[in-house]
Amino acid sequence: MATQSSHSQQLMRSERRMFSASDDSAMMKQIQSTHSPDGRFLDVKPILQVIDNVLRHLTPTIDHHALNGGQGHMDAIDDSSATMDSNGMLEALAFLVHKISCEISCKCSGGGDAHATTMVLLNTLSSYSWDAKVVLTLAAFTVNFGECWLVLQLCTTNSLAKSVALLKQLPDILEYSHTLKPHFDALHKLIKAMMEVTKCIVEFTELPSQYISSDLPPMSIAVAHIPTAAYWTIRSVVACAAQITSLVGTRYEFVTSTSEAWELSSLAHKVCSIHEHLQKILQHCHQHIDEKKQTEAYEGLKHSFGTPQLDNSKILLKIFSLSKEDPHSLLGPDKAKVHIEVLRRKHVLLLISDLDITHEEIQVLESLYKYDRVTSEVNYEIVWLPIVDRSAWNDSYQQKFLSLQSMMPWYTVNHPSIIEPAVVKYTREVWNFVKKPIVVTLDPLGKMTCPNALNMLWIWGNTAFPFTTDREASLWKAEAWTVELLVDGLEPNLSNWVRQEKVICLYGGEEMEWIESFTSATKNVAQFLGIGLEMVYVGKNNAKERVKKITGLINERQLSHAWQDANVWFFWKRLESMLFSKTQHGKTNEIDVIKQEVMTLLGYDGSEQGWAVFFSGTDMVRAKGDKVLNAIQSFEQWEDMARVSGFVSAIRGHLEGIADEHHCTRLILPGISGGIAETVVCAECGRTMEMYFMYRCCVE
């Protein structure tokens, strides 16, 4: 046994010398020269599964408890992985595995050089692929290793095992079990590293060739590194086998040396480094494959939208990344899973947003979907398509998603993760989704009929059904700049006021002093002229809390009518929608009165002053804060004209005669898909306005 121990030490010293040598080109040529595959295919996955099952249950038992007769996890081995396929395959390869096993045992027992032994094994396996070489070598090692530890575990309870252990002098291991712990720990780490590298090599062979080529990076990089990884894994097998052989018949003089444990630890460090490197390459490969798959999916989606369909089923399956086998990842209005068939041959409105969609937007859509849709007898369905950053997903986003989902009375996805990156890319590049919600309409055949019908929904509601671009154009042709278009259903008394031929004044701003002066002066003029007047405060865009305070003061002092939060929000949202809808249809400021007036009001809101617009029938006039207040306070200058031509006509004539020495008009628009006109004309002087960019996070 002393001879055997010296051989082991000699092998370890040789291992130390070879391990310190670099993987130079000469060595790589030597390794590559052994590789002569004959094209045979060997599915190593079932074999590797059996190996993993054995080693997983063996390596945790290499401790003091197991060495003193503990059963460890051996009794818990699950042999379910040993399927008929793996049994049959192992039976066919049994001779080769036995041959390799004997080769390893003989070389290690004789104190052979680790590098030379590794090269012998590579030559024996020359006709196999690199993954097969490693797996078959591991299989041979597992047989020897498993037999050894099986005898060791059973020797205290089984007479046959005890006799075998005695012949192998395994009881000596029990005697020095405490001292041998560093050896066993090092052995465990190296075996674990070997398995990780082997699994990684096998994973490379399973990458789909239609998406990645072995001739191009990153796969070509992997191909260049796999032979080195295979060599060091097989060489690690040889080192482990030598360590186990050296422990058989161990004597105290060998036990006191820790150099062998250090050798295994150093080798484990190298193999772990190889594994980390392969993992990085593998990650790049998967990223490359994902990009290829998403490009293919993106092009497939574009092709589907460009090809006439029998119905909308195919399109919807692709949008929601569903399969015909499992098309149940949508939730219905009652939050139960539904089949995609419920949307077949229906008009579908895709509500596309991130998780910052506002409660006001949901509430208005809810009113249109649950109530107006029924009364107007239009047949469409809404499906929420949430666009999120998967990499940033956390519990907070999950709760936010579930909260929004619970508020929506229409169809939603079960989870944002089912929306593939290709679909997200399509929403951004083709449908121009950026940040603000959009509604893409699909007809019953799956054809996209409007890239953003949300503007139509805000302006006309369900009257715009079926929400096509042509329908939007025809609705604009029938519109004129009237108080009915501006106010719509936000003011319940509007129809009575119009019928009674009252002067209607809408005003806004956040200067309470100006509001008090303006409302008081205007009501005095109306009373003096004996005309009917109704005034409505419409607030200011994106100033919810400040407007709420002003509304409270207006109501308290009975200065005028004042809308609540929801109506104020919707008033400004409709104005923005009118502008973007007009912009999408390519109208210019000079010939489009409605667009010009909308931009004027939005420009007024962008200033620090108040503003007012007066309607009387089809007559209209508007102006900013101090200008309109001064005009009202100078009533005696246009009183006679007012009695002849009416209040609105007279004040307009008076305002037109006032030249501003200086003015500053700002038009602040939200970032939204659909495009913004590059040329904008000032409502006050008619000059082209300069364009600036504004970044804002606070809406108050």
Q: What is residue 538's predicted lDDT score, i.e. its pLDDT? A: 96
Q: What is residue 111's predicted lDDT score, i.e. its pLDDT? A: 62
Q: What is the DSSP string of 657-687?
A: TPPPS-----------TT---S--B-TTT-P
Highest mean pLDDT out of 49-63, 300-314, 683-697:
300-314
Whether pLDDT at 608 is above 90: no
How far is the C-alpha of 641 from the C-alpha of 682, rounded, in Å?
A: 28
Q: Which range (23-37, 70-84, 184-198, 611-625) has the least confidence?
A: 70-84
Q: What is residue 675's predicted lDDT score, i.e. its pLDDT? A: 53
Q: What is residue 72's predicted lDDT score, i.e. its pLDDT? A: 42
pLDDT band at 571 (very low <50, low <70, confident <90, very high): very high
How far is the C-alpha of 185 from the C-alpha of 494, rounded, in Å?
A: 85
The Cα-based distances of 245 to 89, 99, 108, 193 in angstroms read 28, 17, 7, 20
What average pLDDT score do residues 167-191 get? 70
Reported as a single tens digit per residue, the pLDDT across 428-454 is 999 999 889 999 999 999 999 999 999
Q: What is residue 7's predicted lDDT score, i.e. its pLDDT? A: 40
What average pLDDT score do residues 57-72 get? 50
Contacts of 684 (CB under 8 A, 6+ apart): 624, 660, 663, 665
Which is more confidently placed, 136 or 153?
A: 136
**Unique residue bearing structure tokens 């078959």:** 136
pLDDT band at 71 (very low <50, low <70, confident <90, very high): very low
Q: What is residue 112's predicted lDDT score, i.e. its pLDDT? A: 67
Q: What is residue 147's predicted lDDT score, i.e. its pLDDT? A: 73
Element (H or E) spanning 330, and its range?
strand 330-331
pLDDT band at 59 (very low <50, low <70, confident <90, very high): low
Whether pLDDT at 331 is above 50: yes
Q: What is the DSSP string of 17-64?
A: HHHHS---HHHHHHHHHT----S-----HHHHHHHHHHHHHHGGG-SH
Whether pLDDT at 640 is above 50: yes
Which is more confidently placed, 195 or 111?
A: 195
Q: What is residue 13's predicted lDDT score, i.e. its pLDDT? A: 46
Q: What is residue 210's predicted lDDT score, i.e. its pLDDT? A: 93
What average pLDDT score do residues 629-646 get? 94
Which letter does DSSP use for residue 690 in this model? P
pLDDT band at 685 (very low <50, low <70, confident <90, very high): low
Backbone angles phi, psi at 176, to 5 degrees: -110, 30
Q: What is residue 4's predicted lDDT score, i.e. its pLDDT? A: 39
Q: What is residue 543's predicted lDDT score, i.e. its pLDDT? A: 86
Whether pLDDT at 256 is above 50: no
Which letter does DSSP use for residue 351 in this model? E
Q: What is residue 578's predicted lDDT score, i.e. its pLDDT? A: 94
Give the pTM: 0.76
Mean pLDDT, the chain, whole residue set: 83
Terminal-residue alpha carbon distance, the chain: 86
Q: What is residue 485's predicted lDDT score, i.e. its pLDDT? A: 96
Q: What is residue 350's predicted lDDT score, i.e. its pLDDT? A: 97
Reported as a single tens digit per residue, the pLDDT across 483-531 is 999 998 899 999 999 999 999 999 999 999 999 999 999 999 999 999 9
Say which amino acid occupies 301. L
How far is the C-alpha of 388 from the C-alpha of 366, rounded, in Å?
A: 22
Reported as a single tens digit per residue, the pLDDT across 221-239 is 999 999 999 999 999 999 8
Backbone angles phi, psi at 240, to 5 degrees: -65, -45
How far is the C-alpha of 466 from the C-alpha of 378, rounded, in Å?
A: 8
Whether pLDDT at 360 is above 90: yes
How far is the C-alpha of 614 from the C-alpha of 620, rounded, in Å?
A: 6
Q: Which range (184-193, 464-473, 483-492) has the least confidence?
A: 184-193
What average pLDDT score do residues 665-677 get? 56
Whether pLDDT at 141 is above 70: yes
pLDDT band at 89 (very low <50, low <70, confident <90, very high): low
Angle between helices 259-306 and 219-247 (to 10 degrees): 150
Reported as a single tens digit per residue, the pLDDT across 371-397 is 877 777 788 999 999 999 888 899 999
| b/e 266-297 (16+ beta carbons within 10 angstroms → b) | bbbebbbebbebbeebbebbeebbeeebbeeb
Q: What is residue 390's predicted lDDT score, i.e. its pLDDT? A: 86
Q: Which range (102-111, 305-314, 424-433, 548-557) has the least confidence?
A: 102-111
Could you give the count of Cα atoms lying within 13 Å of 535 in the half-sphere of its Cβ?
23
Whether pLDDT at 674 is above 80: no
Whether pLDDT at 2 is above 80: no
How far is the C-alpha of 600 from the C-alpha of 350, rounded, in Å?
A: 32
The Cα-based distances of 492 to 467, 484, 535 in angstroms read 26, 11, 14
Q: What is residue 75's predicted lDDT score, i.e. its pLDDT? A: 44
Q: What is residue 407's predicted lDDT score, i.e. its pLDDT? A: 95
Q: What percent of the chain has pLDDT over 90?
A: 53
Highest mean pLDDT out of 14-18, 36-40, 214-218, 628-632:
628-632
Whether pLDDT at 113 is above 80: yes
Q: What is residue 325's predicted lDDT score, i.e. its pLDDT? A: 56
Task: Give the bridge partners for 380, in sequence order.
Answer: 347
Contact status, residue 187 vs residue 243, Cβ threshold 8 Å: yes
Q: What is residue 14's predicted lDDT score, i.e. its pLDDT? A: 43
pLDDT band at 182 (very low <50, low <70, confident <90, very high): confident
> CATH 3.40.30.10 region(s) of the chain?
312-467
Superfamily of structural domain 312-467: Glutaredoxin (3.40.30.10)
Whether pLDDT at 21 is above 50: no
What average pLDDT score do residues 353-365 get? 94
pLDDT band at 241 (very low <50, low <70, confident <90, very high): confident
Q: Is 478 exposed, middle or buried (0-12, 13-18, 19+ CB in 10 A)?
A: exposed
pLDDT band at 3 (very low <50, low <70, confident <90, very high): very low
How far is the C-alpha of 276 from the C-alpha of 586, rounded, in Å?
A: 56
Q: What is residue 6's predicted lDDT score, i.e. its pLDDT? A: 45
3-class SS string, 545-574: HHHHHHHHHHHHHCCCEECCHHHHHHHHHH
Say which amino acid occupies 439. V
Backbone angles phi, psi at 62, to 5 degrees: -80, 70
pLDDT band at 463 (very low <50, low <70, confident <90, very high): very high
| b/e 643-656 (16+ beta carbons within 10 angstroms → b) | eeebbbbbbbebbe
Q: What is residue 81's predicted lDDT score, i.e. its pLDDT? A: 45
What average pLDDT score do residues 597-615 get? 90
Contacts of 401 (CB under 8 A, 6+ apart): 355, 386, 388, 415, 416
Q: What is residue 64's predicted lDDT score, i.e. its pLDDT? A: 44
